[in-house]
Amino acid sequence: MSYRPLSFAGYVRQAMRPYRIGIPFVFSLVAGIAVAASVLALRANSDFHLIRAVAPHLSTLVETQDRPEMLRMLSSIARERGVQLVLVQRGQVLASTRSLEELDRPFKSQGSLVPIGQSHVTGSDLVTNVHIARENGPETDADILMFSPLSPILLSCLWIALGVLALSFAVSQLYSLKLISVIRETIRPIEKTDEAIRLLLEDKEPNLPLTGIREIDNIRSTLIETRRSLTDATDRLAEAKSKELVADAYRRLIHDLYTPVAALKETVKIIEKETTKPTIREKAQHRLIRLAEQILNQVSVAKENLQFEPKPLAQDDIRTCVSEAAEQAWLAFPDRDRVQLNQRIPDRPISIPHDSENLRRAISNLVSNALRASRGTVDVELERMESSVAIRVSDDGLGIDEDDISLHLQGRLQSSEGNRPGYGLPSANHIARLHGGRLIYRRSPLGGACFEIRI
């Protein structure tokens, strides 16, 4: 059996199903029984008093042995009330509306099942028995029995029970639907919280309004505090990482210089050796020059990485920085007539702590790279997020293989021209991290690369 989790509303609906069906049934059963008992009790009382009301006249008819009048009277009552009546004297049926055939026959009483006041219930009737006798009147002792059929009473009760069932079923359904609706409303903030947590994973700013529900607002507070802690931790981590990168750069420089220096040393030895053939010496001299250039390049890169030391950031409008950097790169690009540079800068100032000099260089590097890679269009976009800023540089070039991104960011791959290492991306990455942000790569909507400085 496979595991299929339900939505919260679905779970509530499923959990409530027995109650939605069971409660109306129980309610209607109780109502039916209560109504039946009440109706029977009222009917028994009504029957009893009706017989008592006609008893004086009936006792006169019994005394005068006027069976025709007894039959007329009993028939009239029976017809109007939907009952049967039997008048019994000395165990013999004196008058009956049930069957004329039982007249002058011994009365056969049916067993009593349930007593109800002056009456009792048999298998098919509510039987009310009243003894009638006229004071000082001879020959009047008799019993009048009224048989009220149970089936109409019980049928009425059944209809009432069914009505209650239908009504309570409808109320239960409405109540259930309303409850589920309220639950849906209630869990919407939870879904938003879930969404917010996902946005956090994507480093996006979550929007979590207050809900008015204590438990959910507590989760919201916890989430915001957690996010703030995470941001602080990220800053601290970035700072530590920056220091580690500097140390690492030194280590790599030292490590990377060891081989060419060693080779330089050996080459110098070859040149200085008197016995070295002129051709070999000449090759060694050329190699010596290449080695020197390589060392200078490595030192130059290391210098680029190391010269940026963390310094306090100034709270300023970042729009100028972005715009100037894009312009600078555009002017320096010799083939700029071929490319269209689009800037999307918000009209309203975006004030954010930043190092404008370094950030300009980083943006300029990204724009220069994009101009070189572009086939005709480069977009520069500045977007204000809730608590951060995104600077995106997109081109419509070939883009970069995502597997090589980390190598590019470390400066371990050559530039697009292929004749020198790519300095721009490691530098931009470094500057973004110095701002407590990072450099994100994704595919550009224009088809090429899109680098985003998120600070």
Partner 1 sequence: MRLHWTYIPILFLLWATACTGGKSQNSPAQSEPYIKAIYALPRTLDPVLMNDTASLMVSNLLYDGLLRFTPDLGFEGALAESWSLDQDGRRYVFKLRSGLRFHDGSAITPEAVVRSLTRAVSPKSTVFKYYDCIQGAEDYFAGRARSVAGLKADGPNRVVIELKYPFPPFLSVLAGATAKVLPINADQDPGFFNRPIGSGPFQFAQLKTSAGSEGELLLTAFDHYQAGVPKVKTLTLRAMSEAKAMQEAQAGRVHDLANFPLGGNEPVFKAGRDASTPVAATWVIGLNVRKAPFNDLKLRQSFKAAIDGEAFRTAFYPDAVAAPGYIPSGLPGFLREPVQLKLGARSAPLEAITVAVPEVLSREKEIREFLEARLRKQGWSVTFVSMAWDKLMEGYDKKTLQAFLVSMNMDYPDTEFLIRNFETGNPDNFSGLSDPALDRLIRKARGSTDRLTRNALYQEVARRLEQLAVTVNLFHPRAHNWVHRCVKGFVPNVLADYYIDYRGVELDQECLASAGGGK
Residues in touch with partner 1 (CB under 8 A):
21, 60-61, 63-68, 71-72, 75-76, 94, 97, 100-101, 103-104, 139, 158, 162, 169
| Cβ at position 143, least distance to partner 1 in Å | 17
Rounded to the nearest whole angstrom, what is the least distance from the CB of residue 158 to partner 1 in the complex? 8
Indicate the residue among 17 and 336 with the shorter CB distance to partner 1.
17
Tell me how far, at minimum, the Cβ of 163 lies from partner 1, in Å: 11
Closest distance of CB 173 from partner 1, Å: 11
CB of 71 to partner 1, least distance (A): 4
Selection from 392, 383, 379 nearest residue 340 by Cα: 379
**Closer CB to partner 1, residue 78 or residue 264?**
78
Pairwise CA distance, residues 424 & 358, whole Å: 12
Considering just the CA atoms, what is the radius of gyration of the chain in Å?
Answer: 51
Task: Determine the residue type at 194.
Answer: D
CB closer to partner 1 out of 139 and 141: 139
Q: Which two tokens stand for residue 65?
A: 């042995």
Tell me how far apart the alpha carbons of residues 76 and 16 are, in angstroms, rounded to a whole number.
54
The least distance separating partner 1 from the CB of residue 53, rounded to whole angstroms, comes to 18
CB 90 → partner 1: shortest distance, Å? Answer: 10
Kindly state the smallest distance separating residue 86's Cβ from partner 1, in Å. Answer: 13
Name the helix (H) or strand (E) containing 449. strand 449-454
Q: For residues 101 and 309, which CB has a smaller minimum distance to partner 1 in the complex?
A: 101
- How far apart (Å, rounded) are the C-alpha atoms in residues 161 and 172? 16
What's the min distance (Å) between Cβ of 96 and partner 1? Answer: 9
Cβ closer to partner 1: 40 or 58? Answer: 58
Taking the C-alpha atoms of 43, 44, 45 and 48 in order, what is their torsion angle to the nearest 10 degrees? 120
What is the arrangement of strands in the sheet containing 340-344, beginning at the earlier edge strand? 340-344, 377-384, 389-395, 449-454, 438-443
**What distance in Å separates the CA atoms of residue 192 and residue 151, rounded to the nearest whole number?**
60
Nearer to partner 1, 170 or 289 (CB): 170
Beta carbon nearer to partner 1, 68 or 212? 68
Question: Do 340 and 367 meet the contact criterion of CB atoms below 8 Å apart?
Answer: no
Helix and strand element counts for the chain (H, E): 9, 13
Closer residue to partner 1 in complex, CB, 101/274: 101
Rounded Cα gap, residues 263 and 298, in angstroms = 15
- For the bound state, the minimum distance from the C-beta of residue 56 to partner 1, rounded and expressed in Å, comes to 12
Beta strands, E only, 70-214: 84-89, 92-96, 114-116, 119-121, 125-132, 142-149
The minimum distance between CB 177 and partner 1, in angstroms, equals 17
CB-nearer residue toward partner 1: 104 or 205: 104
Task: Find, among 152, 146, 156, 160, the residue nearest to 45 by Cα.
Answer: 146
Measured from the CB atom, the residue of 112 and 173 that comes closer to partner 1 is 173
Cα 197 to Cα 25, 137, 226, 442, distances in angstroms: 45, 98, 10, 22
In terms of CB distance, is 100 or 398 closer to partner 1?
Answer: 100
- Burial of residue 114 (number of CB atoms within 10 Å: 0-12, 13-18, 19+): exposed
Query: C-beta of 148: minimal distance to partner 1 in Å?
Result: 19
Rounded to 5°, angle at Cα 406 from 400 and 408: 60
Torsion of CA 394, 396, 401, 405, to 10 degrees: -20
Distance (Å, whole) CA 179 – CA 172: 10
CA–CA separation, 245 and 307 (whole Å): 12
Nearer to partner 1, 137 or 421 (CB): 137
